[in-house]
Each structure stands twice: as structure tokens, then as C-alpha cells.
Structure 1
Amino acid sequence: MSRIADLAHRHGRTIIASIHQPSSDVFDLFDHLCLLSSGNTIYFGPISLTSEFFASNGFPCPQMRNPSDHFLRTINKDFNMVIGEGSEHRPTEITSDAINILERSYKSSSIFQQVLRQVAQSSSMKGEIVQRGSQARFFTQCCVLTKRSFVNMYRDPGYYWLRLAIYFAICLCIGTIFYDIGFDYKSIQARGSMLMFVATYLTFMAIGGFPSFVEDLKIFRRERFNGHYKPVAFTIANMLSSAPFLLAISVFPAAIAYYMAGLQRGPQHFIFFTLILYSSMLLVEGLMMIVASIVPDYLMGIITGSAIQAMMVLSCGFFRLPGDLPKPIWKYPLYYIAFHKYANQGYYKNEFLGLNFSGNGGGNLSISGEDVLKDYWQMELGYSKWVDLAILIGMVVAYRLLFWVAVKVGEEVKPMVSSFLLGKKRHVLDLPSSIPVVVTNSTL
């Protein structure tokens, strides 16, 4: 509390603290005091005048007693209700009389008149000084949020470091299972299966960050409520802070599986391979952030995100070739909106084009990689692999925009839904339209 008071005085900020039964040391740190009882203001003014105000009305603070305890005891009926059970003196009524005396005295005091003048003056003010909003420039918001998010991710071993270790282990497994695939006819299916596993399972594991997304959103909503920054700054910062970790996961573990399996050796092929994996991971993180903004529960959110990805994997054209997919729903629209489709096509074009494979019966018969893509995998060869990568990058941006929309809509819709539900409850319980709020404990 000393640190908070020092910040308030140094930077000219107003800090409101609600503390029950503070120590005398903490109580002395406050500049002003507001005492509430049964929804009424008993005192609101400089803390240095509080003891004098109580003493002048017949309620002096006894020696060796904490002033905050004395004020709380004088105006809180709850304590006396417990003490007064079976008592002939009915101390609850005495407390009510004290509250009435203090309330009337405060309303007739010069302190109250000064508060009214300050309220009127503040109400007449217009302009940015009284507008709720961000206190920093947009660029500063993005920088501060990115740094904070990056530090949190770096310090949390379960956020990316554990996933990085697991990716190393899984990619080592992939490399040993598909070690030196070769170029015979059987390698066609092996290459396709390996690339499919990388495009689906490795990206699927990005849902591991979902619990952290939920916690980040809780912090965001509290800080957003106070007007510290805008949703777009939070969206950009979250993406920038996670980008280096996802890039490390996409490059180093993937290199083990790529070169152990004996895929195309050209450096440009490996770079494209990592770019597809990197953009797919960014996509899954964006998808899980959208889910977190709509379904904030850990278990339900992970189940929802997993179900969405499972539907995309089923319709991406591997387990059923594109020509065999049922046209309602699975071909149109899921096949075209599933990012796995473009990841697989990019991978397959990157790997099979330029290669030749021995025929099924052996001998001198060979099959070109282009024929494999067209006839075996039914890939779309009307555009290059870079178009598939560009589509994935566009989907990364689109998913972040959808997350921003979900946050903005949530800010508008949730209060309306809460108000509607409250109205329904009031109607069912036959409650009045205005319900008084009773504060039983004194508030400092």
C-alpha cells in the first residue's frame, strides 16, 4: 500500500481502494475516506478530519483503538446484531441512531457542500480529460502488451518450452518411422502420409496454449473495462509475442523429420516446408483464441476447438479424395474453408513436383510427380504452391480479424444478454425495477 500511495502522489493519479478493517499503518496512508452504511453515505472527505467529525457528534475514538475499527464498529449493524442477541439494551437500535446522527450531520457540514461543488464542477467538464479511453498511443499499447506477453510466455515452461521438447520427440519418431523413404512406388503413399501427419497432428498440438489464452482474456477484459488499451492492440500483441516461439517450433524439430525422411534436399523446399507449418500453427492459435473468446471454459473450449479441427481434417482431401467427398457440407463448403486442404496441397506440390517414382510393377516404368499429384492425390495443379501459402497467410489474418470481431461483439452483446436475463429473473421473482444496494461493511 505504501508503494501504491507513492505512485499515486508521484504521477498524480486517483486510486480507489476498498479495504475491510485495515491496520492503522495502512489507514494513515489514505488521503480521503468514504464510509457507507446501509447504502447511505456517512462521511466522504479528508481522512484527517474523520476523527474530529465523529467526536463532534458524540462518538469519539477511544484511546489505544484503531480509528478504522472504531468507525467500522460505530456504523456497522452486523456486529451489534450478533452481540445484542438476548440483550435488554438493544444495541442494534443504538447503532441505527448513530448512523442517523452521523448521516444528518454530514449532510449539513461544510465538507458535504464542498463535495457537491466538486461534483458539479466535474460534471460540467468536457473533452478528452473526462472521456474514458486509452491513456497511451496505439504504438505504445502494442509495444507494452507485446513485451508483457512475450515475458509471460518465456517464463512459463508449459506454454511453449514443453511443447518444443514434445515436438522434438515427435519429429524424431517421424524421422525414424519414415527414414529414407526412397523413390519407389510405395514411397508415394509414405510421403503423403508423413506430410499429412505433419500438417494435421503437429498443428493440432497448438491447442495446448488454450488455457493461457483464457487467462489472457480474463486480464484483457479487466484492463479493457478500465480503458487501458483497445482490442486491436491486444490482438496484434498476442500474435507478435507468440510468433518467435512458433517459428522455433516450426524450424528446428521439423528439420529432424524432414532430412531423416529424405525429402527433397533443396534449401528452398525446406524453407517452404517450414513456412507452411509455421502459418498453419499461427492459424490454429488464431482459431483457439476465437474459441476462447466465445467458450471461456477450459474443458469445453478444448473440446470445441478439437471438434472444429477434426471436421477440417476429415474434409481436407486425404482420408477421402476430393472427388469422393460428399458434395453437401463436406465438399461445399468445408473442403474449401479447411486450412488443411491448402497446407496439404502446398506440401504435396513442394515435395512431388520434380520427382520421378518407379512403377508399381517395377522395371523401367516411371511415374512423374506431376502425374502422382493429378491422378493419385487429385490435387489442383492450376496454380503454384506459393498460392497455397498465400491463402494460408490470408487465413491467418482473417482468423485474427474474426477474433477481434468476437471480442468487440462480446463487449456489446454480453451486457445486453445479462440485462435481459436479469429482467427475466426480476419478472419471475416479481422484484421491483429498482433494487437498492446495501453495503453492510464500511468501505475505505
Structure 2
Amino acid sequence: MAIGVFPSFVEDMKVFGWERLNGHYGVRAFVVGNTISSIPYLFMISLIPRAIAYYLVGLQKSLGHFAYFVILLFTTMILVESLMMTVASIVPDFLMGIITGADIQGVIMLNGGFFRLPNDLPKPFWRYVMYYIVFHKYANQGFYKNEFEGLSFPNNQAGVSPTSTGDEVLRSFWHVEMGYSRWVGVGILFGMVDICRLLFWGIINTIDKVKPLIKSYMAVPPKYSSQILENPSAISSS
């Protein structure tokens, strides 16, 4: 649902363009300010509805499990917003941006290990490339570990132990990687947030520098265009 940030962010990009032309602030200040200003609202969206619904569906009732669930959801929301911001910087058109963002989300959702278990994903591309770079993998497995670790379940199979531990369920049923803790997955998600924000900053910064060159190149006679591309400082002097 964080795809819904796209329309408002397109308007933010327009405001940023006007403010940037007026020299009020640069690209770095815009990216940092946008990130800091969105954090409180995303945290409230993660906390308040989850506090209402979390205990109603029978999840583990300890405060630590609830806090992890909220932090995990908060991290994924920041990540999806960062991804949509990157899409908006490349595809500023409203309709095409929504379509592009939804397509990207759909592809990574299908390869996150939920709709099709990890060991059943087609090899090699979808299993050994896409599966390890989509954030749903770490979000889903973190949620599974948060809920199943430390529990035991009755086992009706003959010739085996009458109970199964949560770790066994995670390995055999959900194909969860148990070599790292649930908090490592959160750290990986935060690293993805940093990558998306840096990518967003790099795209805007590149556009901010290249766009004036292109406009100047298109506005002058052809015989002067090559001189401008070779000497960009000629734009300010002219």
C-alpha cells in the first residue's frame, strides 16, 4: 500500500524543482529532509493499526514480539517508500509511475518465498538472484522466526516425536534459513533502505546537473552546442 505515496511525492518533486531553481536548498538537503520528515508518520502508521490488530489474531503476546513486528513493518514501509521515490525520480508521469511501481512490487512479491516456497522457485535466476535481493524474503522470514521460534506443535505422523518444535516447522515447512537471527534480517532491510535512498540521491543529483546542459544544448545554434558540452561553465557565463 506504500505505492500510494507516489502521487504526493510527484508533487513534492515539482516543489523541489521550483525551490532548487530559486537556490533555496540542494539535492542533499531535500533527500535528508524528506527522509527525516516521513519517519514519524510511517512509525505511527506501523504502530497504531498493528496495536489494534496484532493481539486479535492470536500472535505471540509478549511485548518483545510485538515490538519486533512493529519495527519490521516500519522498516519495510520505509523501504517501499524509498523504492517508489526512486521510481518517481526516473518516471515522473503519474500513471506510468504507478504502473511501473506496481509491476516492480509484483515481481518482488512473487519471489519473496511466500506465494511459492524458496526451494520451489525456478532455478537459477529466480532462486539464486531475485530471491536474495528482494526485501520480502527477509521480511517474511523475520516474521516467521518471530512467531514460531520457541513454540512446539503436536505431530500426528507415526514413528516420529509426538511434538515438533518451531525451528523444525520453519526449516521443513517454510524453508526458512536459520543461520542468522531475526534481527540480522532487520539490519539487511535497513541496508536496503540506505541503498535506495543513495540511489534516489544519485539520480536526482545527476538529473540536476545534466538537465541544464541538455536545455542549453537544445537552445543554442548547433555550431555552439559542442562548445557547451566541452565547457559546461560557459552556461553560467552566458
Q: TM-score, normalised by structure 1?
A: 0.48
Q: Does 1:286 align with 2:69?
A: no
Point out where structure 2 has 5 or more consecutive residues left out of the alignment.
Answer: 226-238
Q: TM-score, normalised by structure 2?
A: 0.87
Instruction: Deviation per CA, 1:59-104: give whole Å up to 9, x if none.
Output: xxxxxxxxxxxxxxxxxxxxxxxxxxxxxxxxxxxxxxxxxxxxxx
The partner residue of 2:19 within 210, 223, 246 is 223
Deviation (angstroms), 1:252: 1.2
Distance 2:117 2:50 in 1: 26
The partner residue of 1:376 within 173, 178, 183 is 173
For residues 47-196 of structure 1, the aligned pairs below 5 Å read none
Q: Which residue of 1 aligns with 2:198?
A: 401
For residues 243-262 of structure 1, the aligned pairs below 5 Å read 243-262=39-58
Q: Does 1:275 align with 2:61?
A: no
For residues 321-332 of structure 1, the aligned pairs below 5 Å read 321-332=117-128
The partner residue of 1:265 within 61, 65, 84 is 61
Q: Does 1:301 align with 2:97?
A: yes
Q: Which residue of 2 aligns with 1:414?
A: 211
Instruction: Deviation per CA, 1:281-301: give whole Å up to 9, x if none.
Output: 001111111111111111111
Aligned-partner residue type, residue 357 of structure 1? F
Decide whether aligned partners of structure 1 residues 297 and 265 sit closer, same or farther in structure 2, where only a CA change above 3 A counts: same
Decide whether aligned partners of structure 1 residues 251 and 401 sit closer, same or farther in structure 2, where only a CA change above 3 A counts: same
- Which secondary structure does the structure 2 equivalent of 1:354 belong to? coil
Q: Work out the number of aligned pairs and report it.
A: 224
Q: Does 1:212 align with 2:8?
A: yes
Distance 2:58 2:192 in 1: 30
Decide whether aligned partners of structure 1 residues 324 and 420 sit closer, same or farther in structure 2, where only a CA change above 3 A counts: farther
**Bigger helix fraction:** 2
Identity %: 55
Which protein is bigger by CA-based radius of gyration?
Answer: 1
Distance 2:178 2:217 in 1: 53
Distance 1:229 1:417 in 2: 22
Distance 1:326 1:373 in 2: 21
Point out where structure 1 has 5 or more consecutive residues left out of the alignment.
Answer: 1-204, 435-444
Q: Does 1:334 align with 2:126?
A: no
* RMSD of aligned residue pairs (Cα, Å): 2.3
Deviation (angstroms), 1:419: 5.5
Distance 2:111 2:85 in 1: 22
Deviation (angstroms), 1:421: 6.1
For residues 309-324 of structure 1, the aligned pairs below 5 Å read 309-324=105-120
Deviation (angstroms), 1:225: 2.0
